[in-house]
Amino acid sequence: MKFAKIPMATIVRLSIYMRTLQELLEDDVDVISSERLAKQCGVNPAQIRKDLAYFGEFGVRGVGYRVNELVNQIKDILGLNRPWNLAMVGLGNLGSALIRHGNFIKHGYMFTAAFDIDPQKIGKRLPNGLIINHVDELEEIIKQREVHVGIITTPASEAQSVANQLVLAGINGILNFAPVQIQVPDCCHVENVDFTIKLDSIAYHLSFGS
Amino acid sequence: MKFAKIPMATIVRLSIYMRTLQELLEDDVDVISSERLAKQCGVNPAQIRKDLAYFGEFGVRGVGYRVNELVNQIKDILGLNRPWNLAMVGLGNLGSALIRHGNFIKHGYMFTAAFDIDPQKIGKRLPNGLIINHVDELEEIIKQREVHVGIITTPASEAQSVANQLVLAGINGILNFAPVQIQVPDCCHVENVDFTIKLDSIAYHLSFGS
DNA sequence: TGAATAATGTGAATAATATCACATTATTAG
DNA sequence: CTAATAATGTGATATTATTCACATTATTCA
């Protein structure tokens, strides 16, 4: 898998196609054309075909794509046909809410560690059964439990230091909810989720038209 | 303001520059070059200059940019030098956590309405003083309180119907946390926040190298 | 079987975006 | 005051991403 250099935008769109295809599956649709899928995802049909073409041929000419096959093929492409273990660092409002949020589980992600520094929280059991550990134990526990991805939901001020510790513990993927740009070595891939930036985009659009 | 067609990516980057500049302000930096700012934001220096050039000349040749002036100029560009009122629809784990999360306030956004359908929640007072109303009252309250942006944190199944109601109530901007693609008329601008998609990108990178 | 239809896969064309490179303008120091 | 240095603003260039358009292949129906 993976021949040419794949645009990041393609990867993101593949996730979106997959989500939509999974919904279609639930509605018992078993074949779909790039045209119909494109409409549902809000993209151009050729875009879908090109995105998939980076990785092979998955459709049937004159017919379309078999939905359940394509879901699995996209999962293969993205590396989702295996479990991924997550560690949450920072169990404030947001962190706790995310752990309780069903969407991670639904897509095959599993929380296997949770950290905070608040003595009041250490040792507490979360609704999913996980016990909150002190950040001091981060490296050891992350290695022990084979965590793959760290999620940072600490205040901005702590994010960089947490990121450093995650990297030290051997983590190569970070999902960062703290509103700062964290610096990591090239071996580590960071994705940022900053909703106030999205709000800024909305504000811009509302202020100055499309 | 706004002469040529501005790339969406530019708008997003302007938010990021602004965040970084605000941090610099707190550290009493008062002038910065595009080169240093670029490094901190992880972009190319020429990119910053080009992004700003869409809107005017904000720097001083041979010197750089005055940090506090530039923050304000970017706020003007994005339409952030005014209050924006938000309505939260869906007060489950995520919605409640977001309302309590300080980041919206910090950037000038204000929650002025909150809606749910759970009878247990209706009438309850949130930590910020807001009282939760039934979604049936959405249109009336949104108009009354001059809400500008709706935030959807309902289950996926409810998101489209909530979006429809928001549009009916005159809302032109939606921040959607539900993991579905919602359909709205062109007058309404939607931004999606889907962290499982970001996780998928991380999974891909971890599986197949950069 | 063969013609009509449908929809993929893909090279070529187009459009959008990012980067380079340098002319221009401030500042500083001798 | 002049030369050296620093850093912006921007036309030109390079790169990347998207869309078009059509050849190809599967299916259906007469």
Burial (Cβ within 10 Å: 0-12, 13-18, ≥19) of residue A49: middle
Give the distance between the most distant pair of CA atoms in chain A. 63
* Contact between the CB of A49 and strand C at under 7 Å: yes
Confirm whether A8-78 and A84-197 share one CATH topology.
no
Q: How far is A201 from chain B (nearest CA, A)?
A: 6
A25 touches chain B (CB under 8 A): no
Q: Is the CB of B33 under 7 A from strand C?
A: no
Answer whether B126 touches A (CB < 8 Å). Answer: no
Is the pLDDT score of A1 beyond 60? no
Nearest chain A residue to B99, by CA: A93
> Which of B194, B121, B182 lies closest to B150 in space, CA to CA?
B182
Residue A4 pLDDT? 59
Q: Tell me, what's the pLDDT at A209?
A: 73
Instruction: Note whether B79 contacts A204, CB cutoff 8 Å.
Output: yes
**Phi, psi (5° rounding) for residue B165?**
-65, -40
pLDDT value of residue B100: 94
By Cβ distance, the residue of B97, B173, B194 closest to A94 is B97
Instruction: Please give the torsion angle defined by the CA atoms of residues B49, B55, B60 and B62, in that order, rounded to the nearest 10 degrees.
Output: 20
pLDDT at A210: 55
A36 touching chain B per CB within 8 A: no
For the beta carbon of residue B130, count every other beta carbon within 10 angstroms.
Answer: 17
Residue A2: is its pLDDT beyond 80?
A: no
- B72-93 pLDDT, tens digit per residue, is 999 999 999 999 999 999 999 9
Contact flag B195-A98 (C-beta cutoff 8 Å):
yes
Measured distance CA(A74)–CA(A70) in Å, rounded: 6
pLDDT given at position A102: 87
Question: Average pLDDT, stretch A19-43?
Answer: 95
Interchain contact B161–A (C-beta under 8 A): no
In chain B, where the domains are located: 8-78, 84-197
Q: Which CATH architecture has domain A8-78?
A: Orthogonal Bundle (1.10)
Cα–Cα distance for residue pair B165/B170, rounded to 1 Å: 9
Calpha distance B29→B26 (Å, rounded):
8
Q: What is the mean pLDDT of chain A?
A: 94
Query: How does pLDDT run across A144-169, given as a tens digit for each residue?
Result: 999 999 999 999 999 999 999 999 99
Provide, in whole angstroms, the distance separating residue A46's CA from nucleotide D24's C1'. 16
The tokens for A62 are: 């004159």
| Nearest nucleotide to B52, CA against C1' atoms | D9
* Tokens matching residue B40: 């901190």
Q: Tell me which residues of chain B have a pLDDT lower than 70.
A: 1-4, 210
Q: How confident is the model at residue A66, as a pLDDT?
A: 97
Pick the CATH number of B84-197 from 3.40.50.720, 3.20.20.140, 3.10.129.10, 1.10.357.10: 3.40.50.720
Contacts with B54 from chain A: Cβ below 8 Å: none
Pairing of strands A173-176, A109-116: unpaired
Q: Is B125 exposed, middle or buried (0-12, 13-18, 19+ CB in 10 A)?
A: exposed
Q: pLDDT (tens digit, 9 = 90+) per residue, A114-130?
A: 999 999 999 999 999 99
Burial of B107 (0-12, 13-18, 19+ CB in 10 A): buried
The confidence score (pLDDT) of residue A186 equals: 86
Contacts of A173 in chain B (CB under 8 A): 202-203, 205-206
Is any Cβ of chain B less than 8 angstroms from the Cβ of A200?
yes
Q: What is the pLDDT of residues A44-91, one digit of tens each?
A: 999 999 999 999 999 999 999 999 999 999 999 999 999 999 999 999
Tokens in use for A80?
């989702």
Residue B61 confidence (pLDDT)? 94
